[in-house]
Amino acid sequence: MFNNSLKDRLITLLGRENVLDSIEELSCYAYDSFLEESLPEIVVLPKSTTEVAAVVEIAATNKIALTARGAGTSVCGAPIPVKRGIVLCFSKMNKVLEINTRDRYAVVEPGVINGDLQKKLAPLGFFYPPDPGSIMISTIGGNVALNAGGPRCLKYGVTMDYVLGMEVVLPSGKIINLGSKNIKDVTGYKLSALFCGSEGTLGLITKIILRITPQPETARTVLVTFADLDNTAKAVSEIIGSGILPVAMELMDSITIREIENTLNLGLDTEAAGTLLIEVDGTAETCRREMGRIVEKVNDYGALSLQEAATSAEREELWKARRFAYPVFAKIGPDIITEDVTVPISKVPAMIAKIREILNAHDIRAGILAHAGDGNMHPLIPVDKSDTEQMKRVNQAIEEIFAAAVPFEGTLSGEHGIGLAKAEFLPLVLDDNTREFMSVIKKAVDPDNLFNPGKFV
Ligand SMILES: Cc1cc2nc3c(=O)[nH]c(=O)nc-3n(C[C@H](O)[C@H](O)[C@H](O)COP(=O)(O)OP(=O)(O)OC[C@H]3O[C@@H](n4cnc5c(N)ncnc54)[C@H](O)[C@@H]3O)c2cc1C
């Protein structure tokens, strides 16, 4: 239990302004972008690794639960402090410590906003590829702890592919350094990978070394509409199967298109059953060649219309519909569930059909959005969490969607993580031995189960 003497120790350690304990302050850290809430007993805002280690030492000695938090944009309940205790928020550890373009890395504190790093890299002709939709608000620490993806991960890979190394404070209070600034480094176990997607259950990431990449010479973007959703999805696997690797291939179904158009009036074709937003990058010649082949393929699958951006402003306009899909559906709510089921690319057409069938069977009006090029589907389900009858139908549908992914050799989450939302479904895709191995790691690192307890391990 937390008490006043522990609070006083934290205040002495961090300063009064970095220890939050009023009900108004605590309630800001009780939720993320999922449906549940749990009030922490105290929130701390450390400014250095030394301060983080000292807070961990207090939590460990007094056996108090400790949950890390970045920006709280998780959509699976990962940063919700279900066992209360301390929330340690990294918002004040937000410095870009080093950018080295010659050696192609950046060193950042975990509270750096992904978009802020991009703003520093762009004038140098570089970028950091992982681009979750929350890019302008989510932190690199949260991105690493959830192994975040995003539209351009189709070509460039996910967060883990860009983590060269990290500094971590363990539940024991010890500080360890994993990986290095080297692009290649095979020195022992690749432990930094273990922390990618660990959702704050194994350690607190206090510094991250990221691989950065030169910006491509140019990009071309096209919005294609189809009369048939199945053909929209089939065009995706046909393009990938033919050896072209676009930066992004984002699919939206008719319900998604209509809801976005109703809210934003972008001039989208509301008669289309499906749209694909496709982007290629590279040299002008590569883009010309690849886009030419993509146009042939989408025409083979009965494309109704094809709109190519001629300028970067037009490109932004084409991306606008995709970027606003989440907020548009979140407004219908008042709450929203964003699912994240993922299957091998060739199974996308069948899985999309299955998702639509399940949603219809439970009378649920939801959009389907997909990073279709990497098999990652996001049914956007507006809900009212106080409506128990509706929630029962939605939970049943979600369970059926997960179960439907299994025969396709799919998985529960492509990028959003497990958190609270999917913990109970882990046995669908991870066998007993695998889950036991995860528990063995957790118990070895955090024997008192203090770091983000009540989650998937
Ligand atoms: C509008 C919107 C769009 C989104 N689009 C995408 C998308 O395209 N792709 C995608 O992958 N996700 C997406 N997400 C989900 C979410 O933004 C990401 O998962 C993001 O990576 C979370 O970062 P955060 O800083 O908000 O972390 P939080 O939500 O604060 O925390 C996430 C998890 O990381 C842990 N954590 C945070 N910091 C640390 C640290 N320093 N050390 C150890 N553990 C830590 C927390 O305990 C928690 O378990 C989206 C969310 C929204 C709201």
Cα(94) to ligand 1 centroid in Å equals: 15
The closest of 330, 431, 323, 270 to 75, measured between CA atoms, is 330
- pLDDT of amino acid 255: 95
- pLDDT of amino acid 396: 98
Closest ligand 1 atom, CA of 203? 43
Q: Quickly tell me which residue has 């509301």 as its tokens.
A: 270
- pLDDT of amino acid 115: 98
pLDDT tens profile 312-323: 999 999 999 999
CA-based radius of gyration for the chain: 22
* Residues 450, 64 contacting (CB under 8 angstroms): yes
Q: What parts of the chain have a pLDDT lower than 50?
A: none
Domains of the chain with bracketed CATH: 4-89 (3.30.43.10), 96-214 (3.30.465.10), 218-418 (3.40.462.10)
- pLDDT of amino acid 2: 78
150 lines ligand 1 (CB under 6 A): yes
Measured in whole angstroms, the distance separating CA 317 from the mean position of its chain's CA atoms is: 23
pLDDT tens profile 246-282: 999 999 999 999 999 999 999 999 999 999 999 999 9
34-63 in b/e form (b: 16+ CB < 10 A) is bbeebebbbbbbbbebebbbbbbebbbebe
Per DSSP, the chain holds a count of helices (H) and strands (E) of 15, 18
Cα(142) to ligand 1 centroid in Å equals: 4
Residue 28, CB half-sphere, CA atoms under 13 Å: how many?
11
- Which residue of 73, 250, 445 sits with most ligand 1 atoms within 8 Å of its CB, as the best mutation to test the pocket? 73
Going by C-beta distance under 8 Å and a sequence separation of 6 or more, which residues neighbour residue 11? 19
Helix (H, G, I), strand (E, B) or coil at 108: strand
325 lines ligand 1 (CB under 6 A): no
- Which residue of 31, 43, 74, 337 sits with most ligand 1 atoms within 8 Å of its CB, as the best mutation to test the pocket? 74
- Which residue of 45, 138, 324 sits with most ligand 1 atoms within 8 Å of its CB, as the best mutation to test the pocket? 138
Closest ligand 1 atom, CA of 79? 48
- pLDDT of amino acid 457: 86
* Residues 29, 40 contacting (CB under 8 angstroms): yes
Enumerate the β-bridge partners of residue 68: 88
